[in-house]
Structure 1
Amino acid sequence: MSKKRLYAVLALLTLVAGCSTKADAKADLSLDAALPTTVPDGTKIVVGDPATEVALKLSGQYGKVSKYVQFANLSGGPQTTEAFRAHALDLGSVAEIPPIHATWTGLHVKIVASKFRQDPLNHPIYELGIAPGVSVKTLADLRGKKIAFSPGQAQGALVLKVLKKAGLTKDDVKLIELPSTGDVYSNALAGKQVDVAPIGGVQIKRYLTKYGKDGGSTIEHGIRDDAGHLYVPTESLENPAKAAAIRAYVAAWGVAQDWIDKHPKEWIAGYYVKDQGLSPADGEWLVQNAGHADIPADWSDAIQRQQETIELLAKETKNPVIQAKDLYDLRFQTVAADAIKGAAK
């Protein structure tokens, strides 16, 4: 999304967010108080989670959230963070890094839902794309290479993790700072602007199809890269009406993820083909390579992995070490998993 369009969207969302209701005007809710379970009439939260919006519509669940949710066509860390700063968004769907980066930039946020991939090392989100004519067969071969790098995003963190696994440092390679949106990384590889770039999803298939004949390739990195989160600004959680709506949305989100797993044909046709404009073959490839969602009711392992990521990033970016447990709102720990169990009864 261009900056011009982003600012236009933020202006509209700010107007929507500014239309507060009586439910929004209640006293603050402490972050350690029990979550309200009833969403007051008139409550509205603005949610940037386009994929789940489609899943809710396809599964017939949209009417259950439309009373209190205003969806925004925003996703990804930079756009979500900008919307949080503008007080125009209450919840965003992102990968591992944005909640960390947001905290380092002075925003107070909390993770309220997490999902991963079952068998994540066999179903990674990213592979390392290798430019035509460049020889990289193992991680050790990354030494001296030009690598695409996007600070503050999942791809940037993955690059740092890969270097650590390979026994390399940033001084052993040349990091080329590029945004990781759209086809930027694939085009940078094809144009020899970089030697290596983490590419994910259908970009892997398209890159190999288009440039494999010229020597373009990919290699697996062997690192977990499967974290996905819903996170919110704490100011939204301090509003009792919005906190109740966020809790209800997290429950609906969990059921929607489960529906996606159980209805792959409908998901391919309704989301990948109709909404995203991909071919049925691309959609099939994405579903097969994603595996199934894992939505844990215990975040202990997730918090531990997040802490390891924080410590690595802090060292490499000269930011302070923060505590991963402070990023998670444990009041939400079982909400999505419980909702899935309840829907199955």
Structure 2
Amino acid sequence: MRLKRIIRLIRRAGFAIAFSGSFATASLAQSAPHLSDLTLTVGTPNKTGLHRQLIAANEIENLPYKINWADFDSTPPLVEALRAGHVDIAAGGDTGVLAAIANGVKVTILAGAWERKESGSAILVRGDSPLKGVADLKGHKVALPYFTKQHYQFAKALEQAGVPFDNKLILNLNTTDGLSALVNSQVDAFVVWDPNTAIAQQQHGARILQSLSKVIDTAGVLYAPTYAVEDPVRKAALEDLTRRIIRAQAWVNAHPTEWAEQVAKLSQISPDAANLQASRSRVEYVPATDGDVLSGWQKEVAYFRDSGQFKRDFKVEDYVVKDFGDLIRDENKKLVKTN
């Protein structure tokens, strides 16, 4: 029954796997030929994540292993696929990962990912909406993909504005259904992230009611199933791929115009939306053991536990692979020297 449920969730979320084609064998594979028989599935919970970044930055060239791509609407269905053994590494919002850990999913955190700009994490309303601030949302319907990073940010925004989190009015909708509900006046606001925010603004005239990163911000997560890190062969591949992910993100940060062009082409969104999302994002990978990273995640766990939405409390630090911190610091130093 669990497998059938997972399959339904994956289909509902728009799960898609695309094979990457043939890859040349790199020197790493020559020193460790067992990697050439390995396939890693990379999970992406949006239209601008790892899948497109690694391709745009040419970081899938000369891989010593093979890659499959797994694309999702958001982090929660991605984590369900990870639970079922269909994803080996992913990056995205922290809330879905923390919720998975609270529910007993064996997830391991490899790195944190700080958004250094405002980003497109926001509460959206229609362009002609009379709503002026978060306090005005009281009594109004809101579309929100639950247990995403924006769930936590939105909850804190309501808390600061003195508005209760009403489950009857705050509807759990994915990004496609949420946008449709906003455009068709079935809800009064829509909580979402880029490039969905940029698409709503550019193509549907949506207006940002509140930028959520200004309310509270926590680091995103690079993560993997625990079994993948416990397997020496798979871990070696994950270490190599993590370095490529860091380099790909650095390329994205340094080439916003080219990145926007690639996003428009690879994700089939409008150039205007692609340029807008690229202009307000700059992500940097950092060790997950950094104090501000861990403390932010721990406060988030406490919030969801105290509100009864997490079944148990836990120390986030216990789920971090600490030796990946040295790898991340090393790769970041190499990038500084290169630039």
TM-score under structure 2 length normalisation: 0.79
Distance in 2, matches of 1:84 and 1:267, equals 28
| Contact 1:44/1:69, CA 8 A, preserved across alignment | yes
DSSP 3-state at the match of 2:216: coil
Is the 8 Å Cα contact of residues 94 and 229 (structure 1) preserved in structure 2? yes
1:104 corresponding residue in structure 2: 102
Structure 1 contact 132–189 (Cα < 8 Å) conserved: no
The residue aligned with 1:23 is: none
- Which runs of no fewer than 5 residues in structure 2 stay unpaired? 1-6, 19-30
Change (3 A) 1:52 1:202: closer
SS of the aligned residue for 1:170 comes to coil
In 2: Cα distance, 1:218 partner to 1:144 partner:
19
- What is the deviation of 1:132? 6.1
Distance, in Å, in 2 between the alignment partners of 1:237 and 1:243 is 5
- Corresponding residue for residue 189 of structure 1: 182
Q: Which residue of 2 aligns with 1:253?
A: 245
Q: Deviations over 1:178-202 (max 9, x none)?
A: 32223x2222122232222213224
Between the aligned partners of 2:33 and 2:257, the Cα distance in structure 1 is 33
Counterpart of 1:301? 292
Q: 1:112 to 1:262 in 2, by over 3 A?
A: same
Shift of 1:92: 1.8
Gapped runs of 5+ residues in structure 1? 14-36
Compute the displacement of 1:154 (Å).
Answer: 2.2
**Contact 2:199–2:269 (8 Å) recurs in 1:** no
Q: C-alpha separation between the residues in 1 aligned to 2:266 and 2:17?
A: 23
Which residue identity lines up with residue 94 of structure 2 in the other structure?
E
Q: Distance in 2 between matches of 1:88 and 1:206?
A: 29
Structure 1 residue 149 and structure 2 residue 139: aligned?
Answer: no
Residue correspondences, number? 309
Change (3 A) 1:147 1:236: same
Between stretches 77-86 and 51-60, larger displacement belongs to: 51-60
Distance of 1:326 and 1:131 partners within structure 2: 43
Deviation at residue 336 of structure 1 after TM alignment: 2.8
Report the Cα distance in structure 2 between the residues aligned to 1:311 and 1:303, rounded to whole angstroms: 12
- The aligned counterpart of 2:317 is 325
Q: Which has the higher contact order (CA 8 A, sep 6+)?
A: 1
Match of 1:95 among 85, 93, 103: 93
Q: Is the 8 A contact 1:125 1:226 kept in 2?
A: no
**Within 5 A, what are the aligned runs for 1:10-159?**
40-41=34-35, 42-49=37-44, 51-64=49-62, 66-75=63-72, 76-118=74-116, 120=117, 123-131=118-126, 134-159=129-154
Preserved contact between residue 110 and residue 320 of structure 2 (Cα < 8 Å): yes
CA RMSD of aligned residues (A): 3.0
Contact kept, 8 Å, 2:16 with 2:69, in 1: the verdict is no
Q: 1:39 to 1:166 in 2, by over 3 A?
A: farther
> What is the CA distance between 1:98 and its match in structure 2?
1.7
- Alignment match, 2:174: 180
Aligned counterparts, 1:185-264, within 5 A: 185-209=178-202, 212=205, 217-220=207-210, 221=212, 222-225=214-217, 227-264=219-256
- Bigger drift between 69-78 and 109-118 goes to 69-78
2:246 is paired with a residue whose SS is: helix
Give the secondary-structure state (helix, strand or coil) at the position aligned to 1:137: coil
Shift of 1:10: 8.2
Alignment CA distance shift 1:58-1:77 (3 Å)? closer
The answer to whether the 8 A contact 1:145-1:174 is kept is: no
Q: Secondary structure at the match of 1:295?
A: strand
- Residues 111, 324 of structure 2: 8 Å contact kept: yes
- Per the alignment, in what secondary structure is the counterpart of residue 239 of structure 2? helix
Cα deviation, residue 133, structure 1: 5.9
Q: Is the 8 A contact 1:48 1:89 kept in 2?
A: yes
SS at match of 1:106: coil
Partner of 2:164: 169
Paired amino acid for 1:207: A
